[in-house]
Amino acid sequence: MKVLNAIAIILVCIGMLGVNMKAQASENVLTAKEKSMISISSLTAKGNLRDLEKALEQGLKNGLTVNEIKELLVQVYAYAGFPRSLNGLAAFSAVLEKRKAQGTNDVIGKTASPVPANQTSLEFGTANQTKLFGREVKGGLYDFAPQIDQYLKAHLFGDIFQRDVLTWKDRELITVAILAGIDDVDPQLQAHLATCVKVGWTHEQLFEYADVIGGCLGKKYGSNAKKQIGIVLKQTAVSREEEMNNLDIPFGLGEFNKAYAQYFKGNSYLNMLTKEQVAVANVTFEPACRNNWHIHHAEQGGGQILLCTFGEGWYQEWGKEARSLRAGDVVNIPAGVKHWHGAKKDSWFTHIAIEVPAKNGSNEWLEPVSDEDYLNLHK
């Protein structure tokens, strides 16, 4: 029976990863590549080398580069120890040699950019950790044992997280995949699941991550992952509601922007101020919320004016650098220009949107702003 159960787990794990890469995944569904990151991370941390070899092969087929997998396996040591990481790297080296002998040349991928020359690992690691968690991490155990605080900041969030072969969003998914298979680390798992929400993983994607964990490591670990996700999402909902009640937004928050929700990543709120003469609306974005790329078309006139009234946000036109926004800024958006706007990762953002009168005006909604491009603005 144990053998049959083990075989079933392997088949589920590999089956979940064998997704057609040509299928266009929606933003609320994990891609085959992301599922491979979860499986490789969790199996390495658990020390399941037999299943890891299959997962590594599948990961390469699903689009992970050699350098991305190396980065992932190195990161494992920070949470599961050097032996697990080294064993994973050895398994990966053997997989690559076998594939090379079979005539397969795997994509090496990008290498890490140089680290800041004018800062120490401790300095940029502290900045990275603060951005990820939305606050400075200090006190408690870190006062009791200052050296662990320095190692976390300088090495994990400095030397490792500064390497841009993987995005911070990728690294947080890898982290919760590692922690999900380690017993009795629920507080740490909850902390990083909360950070996953902050960096853009949706509720649907997190529950799907738990399904992958269950398929790879067994029902016990998948069920616990779902339990911890539920706790985190409940805490997040309560804190977000309290936060909303304390916002002092000029012209008010308004109602949930249901009519345009499909064109936004995250929640936005709309308070239509007037439709007489010109349309004027008060739009509020929760932290990390932004709209899709879009264009205001018109035969004559048209476009939009944004008056920023609360918090901090971004505005970007296609092919140009993003512009940082805060209360008091004004943005003039000509007709025909592809652009997006929204909140910064850790700030609510409100602007008044004024619709410039146009002849035969219309709006064209396009693709979402990618999580990678969005998060890179905050580095």
Which residue from 362, 376, 331, 363 is spatially nearest to 349, judged by alpha carbons? 331
Query: CA-to-CA distance for 96 and 116, rounded, in angstroms?
Result: 32
Q: Residue 4: its pLDDT value, please?
A: 44
Domain 255-376: CATH superfamily, name plus number: Jelly Rolls (2.60.120.10)
Contacts of 129 (CB under 8 A, 6+ apart): 137, 152, 153, 157, 161
Query: CA-to-CA distance for 342 and 86, rounded, in angstroms?
Result: 42
Query: CA-to-CA distance for 215 and 311, rounded, in angstroms?
Result: 42
CB contact at 8 A, 63 and 94 = no
| Residue appearing with tokens 């911070």 | 168
Q: Residue 138: its pLDDT value, please?
A: 87
**DSSP assignment of 218-269:** -HHHHHHHHHHHHHHHHHHHHHHHHHHHT---TT---EE-GGGGGGEES-EE
Which residue from 330, 303, 327 is spatially nearest to 247, judged by alpha carbons? 327
Q: Which backbone phi and psi does 255 adopt, to 5 degrees?
A: -105, 160
Domain boundaries, the chain: 2-113+163-241, 255-376
Q: Where are the alpha helices (DSSP H) in the chain?
A: 2-17, 32-46, 49-61, 66-80, 82-101, 121-133, 141-144, 146-151, 168-180, 186-199, 203-217, 219-245, 371-376
**C-alpha neighbours within 13 Å on the C-beta side of residue 77:** 14
Instruction: Please give the structure tokens belonging to residue 241.
Output: 């509601």
Q: Which backbone phi and psi does 284 adopt, to 5 degrees?
A: -120, 135
Contacts of 118 (CB under 8 A, 6+ apart): none
Query: CA-to-CA distance for 10 and 214, rounded, in angstroms?
Result: 11
Query: CA-to-CA distance for 23 and 31, rounded, in angstroms?
Result: 9
CB contact at 8 A, 53 and 10 = no
Helix axes 32-46, 82-101, angle to 10 degrees: 130
Angle at CA 316, nearest 5°, toward 161 and 172? 20
Q: How distant, in Å, are the alpha carbons of 102, 283, 302, 331, 355 from that of 361?
A: 58, 20, 6, 19, 10
Q: Each residue of 36-74: pLDDT tens digit?
A: 999 999 999 999 999 999 999 999 999 999 999 999 999
Query: CA-to-CA distance for 65 and 67, rounded, in angstroms?
Result: 5
Which residue from 192, 175, 203 is spatially nearest to 132, judged by alpha carbons? 192
pTM for the whole thing? 0.67
> Topology of 2-113+163-241 in CATH?
AhpD-like (1.20.1290)
3-state secondary structure labels for all residues of 50-91: HHHHHHHHHHHHCCCCHHHHHHHHHHHHHHHCHHHHHHHHHH
Ranges under pLDDT 70 in the chain: 1-28, 238-240, 379
| Single-letter amino acid, residue 328 | G
Query: CA-to-CA distance for 146 and 274, rounded, in angstroms?
Result: 56
Q: Residue 245: its pLDDT value, please?
A: 76
Which residue from 344, 239, 238 is spatially nearest to 288, judged by alpha carbons? 344
Contacts of 163 (CB under 8 A, 6+ apart): 71, 112
Q: Residue 307: its pLDDT value, please?
A: 97
Q: Each residue of 236-288: pLDDT tens digit?
A: 776 667 777 778 888 988 899 888 899 999 889 999 999 998 999 999 999 88
